[in-house]
Chain A
Amino acid sequence: MDAIDERKYLRLNRFPTIWCPGCGIGIVLGAIIRAVARLGLDKDEVAMVSGIGCSSRMVGYVDFNTIHATHGRALAFATGLKLARPEMRVIVVMGDGDALAIGGNHFIQAARRNIDLTAIVINNSIYGMTGGQYAPTTPRGATATTAPYGNLEPPFDIPALAASAGAPFVARSTVYHAIELDRFIERGLRKKGFSVIEVLSDCPVFYGALNEMGSAVDMLRWYRDNTISVREAGKGEGKLVRGVLVDRDLPEYTEGYQRLVESLRGKGEG
């Protein structure tokens, strides 16, 4: 089982990637591929849709049906594709700005609609692609290129937002917790409905450098020391909780639409 050959799922001729040395996005890429492999999915039945940003460049490297859409709109593109091809597994990869700033409305609407997409939000606490500006996920007080005196705004709690908007599956992990991350993405993919997996991921070049967090390895250690599993929550004051935070069964949109069409069969003017 463990002998997964990730290369089978990659467009190796597109490598090397555009990502900076030490960037966490590659770890998320590996986790997604292993989850797809464990589910035994055929590459033809998998689509990956992304927006614009460093995280969103992932689609170019995977050997699936891939859409590099416009900034913030990946979930809306994916909604159309999923409705046209309900049998496909549609994975949506977004940066935190992509998913929650420009794409924030699509994010909560997709959660409310509960359409069967697996949304992976790679949260590096910053706008990576454009050079380290503050995002709606940047912690209060943190430094960004456009917050030279410290960020005045509080960050979104992505799992809480997704849960309150109606997502049936919500999880959070980090690129340090690689094995856990594989499992969460696999569970998200298995879930029928809108699943959200937030992955805290290091951007050593912008967020790390601007906030004196050290090397990429130091940032991974930070995730180890400053997050806590939901099973031990309560034991770690002020730590970010990781885990499957929501897992519930709710009516899924494409199935509901299919049932509607079937119930109308024979009633049309043709």
Chain B
Amino acid sequence: MKARVSGGAALMQGNEAVAAGALAAGLGFFANYPITPANEISRVLSRELPLRGGVFIQMEDEIASIAAVIGASLGGLKAATATSGPGFSLMQENIGYASATEIPCVIVDVQRGGPSTGMPTRPSQGDVMQARWGAHGDHPIIVLYPSSVSETYELTIRAFNLSERYRTPVILLMDEVVAHMRERVMLPLPEVEVVPRSKPKVPPEMYFPYEDGDNDVPPLASFGEGYRYNITGLFHDRLGFPTLRPDEINPWLKRLFGKIETNLEDIVWCEQELIEDAEVVLVAYGATARSARHAMKLARDRGEAVGMIKPLTLWPFPHIESIAERARRIIVVEMNRGQILGEVERLVHGKAEVLGVNRMDGEMVTPLEILHALEI
């Protein structure tokens, strides 16, 4: 089985679309450790990368995989890894490292039922909060979440672009349904933008890898190109050396979070459908957004004013609070115990009733279950 990776319409699986999107975005290095349900990604990339002069390596575990990805990114390659829950847990320390050291990289987590080994072959959306807060300490992160194969291709490219533009790890969170589903994808997408890494234009002695000037995102020199600098996971000054001085730490923290928080318009992508007159709004992402959309249509056929919101950027979570001014009720549909439900409640702040439709038994939430919730 071969994923078409260029030209025309292709029938491909979500995981194959990750591989194809990564290659289209300029992937140069991929390291991983085998795990279901993410395996098709490495199967395609182990074949395709060497053909293009890129590097594929299977590391000894997921900690080594993300570590090698960070090392390769510092060497100047666009780098990524892919895993599922247990491996994603192992990666967290180094994801925090990449966030704090501002090294671009993409981490794909094809979720499985959890906790623990869980249900390796069944869908889940249980890593939503781990993707946001898995690494210790406050840190910025971007998490994207596709609900179709075509979106998977597009969001994979977007993940690389955002990681380069904002010098940050980006997590592509997927569920097993979309990862293993086959759908038509048009390749190449019209006008795919590929963001190259921004390199310093100043001479080495004037280069500050963590500059806190006007530019929120300082350029990142590649190792071996004459800019000898230091990278550390310790809090660091603008040269990249350890510091404990609040007058150096505070400007850095401000820039670290600011580069994401002041660019939400560019980063956050959220689709809304039929919400203008909606009394009830469904909030769903990934595979559950497909069920939600179906339920919305059935409800509209019955004459009910139902709309929906689908965040494709899950973190930072879109500012959806304005819908509470019109809608009476918001229903958050998830294959977990309500990880986004809490976020919606926080935003809506009592202005509308917020309910959840949740499953965590490895079965999809069906449109009927959502319709049932509409009747309450």
Contacts and interface: CB of A to CB of B under 8 A. Distances in A.
Interface of A: 14, 43-45, 47, 49, 59-60, 63-70, 73, 76-85, 87-88, 105-106, 109, 257, 260-261, 264, 267-270
B177 interface: no
Interface in B79-97: 79, 93-94, 97
B45 interface: no
A159 B69 CA distance: 28
Nearest to A115: B57
Given A69-B67, A264-B51, A269-B5, A80 B31 contact: yes
- Which of A47, A49, A69, A257 is packed against the most chain B CB atoms within 10 Å? A69
Given A60-B232, A78-B71, A269-B5, A83 B64 contact: no
B224 A73 contact: no
Given A69-B97, A105-B60, A269-B51, A79 B232 contact: no
B299 interface: no
A269 B57 contact: no
Contact of A80 (B63, B68, B229): B68
10 contacts: A49-B71, A60-B232, A63-B228, A70-B233, A81-B75, A83-B72, A88-B224, A106-B60, A261-B50, A264-B50
Interface residues of B, dominant DSSP: mixed
Given A44-B228, A84-B29, A267-B51, 4 more contacts: A69-B70, A83-B29, A83-B72, A84-B71
B233 A69 contact: yes
Contacts of A106: 60, 64
B76 interface: yes
A65 B224 contact: yes
A206 B165 CA distance: 46
Interface residues of A, dominant DSSP: helix
Interface of B: 5-6, 28-29, 31, 48, 50-53, 55, 57, 59-61, 63-65, 67-77, 79, 93-94, 97, 222-226, 228-234, 241-242
Contact of B6 (A83, A85, A269): A269
A146 B311 CA distance: 50
Contacts of B97: 69-70
A56 B230 CA distance: 13
A67 B61 CA distance: 21
A66 B231 CA distance: 6
B258 to A, nearest CB: 25
Contacts of B241: 14, 60
A261 B232 CA distance: 33
Contacts of B226: 44
Contacts of B224: 44-45, 47, 65, 85, 87-88
A84 B72 contact: yes
B231 A80 contact: no
Contacts, number: 139
B64 A59 contact: no
A264 B52 CA distance: 9
A80 B228 contact: no
B4 to A, nearest CB: 9
B223 A270 contact: no
B51 A83 contact: no
A60 B60 contact: no
A45 B224 CA distance: 5
Contacts of B242: 60, 68
Nearest to A254: B55
Nearest to B74: A81
A68 B240 CA distance: 10
A178 B279 CA distance: 79
A77 B67 contact: yes
B11 to A, nearest CB: 17
A63 B72 CA distance: 20
Contact of B228 (A64, A68, A69, A70): A64
A14 B243 CA distance: 11
B257 to A, nearest CB: 22
A98 to B, nearest CB: 13
Nearest to A85: B75
A70 B75 contact: no
Contacts of A268: 48, 51-52
Given A84-B75, A88-B223, A66 B230 contact: yes
Contacts of A67: 71, 74, 230-232
Nearest to B59: A76
Contacts of A78: 71
Contacts of A70: 67, 93-94, 97, 233
A66 B65 CA distance: 20
B72 A73 contact: no
Given A83-B55, A264-B50, A77 B68 contact: yes
A257 B53 CA distance: 10
Nearest to A79: B68
B169 to A, nearest CB: 14
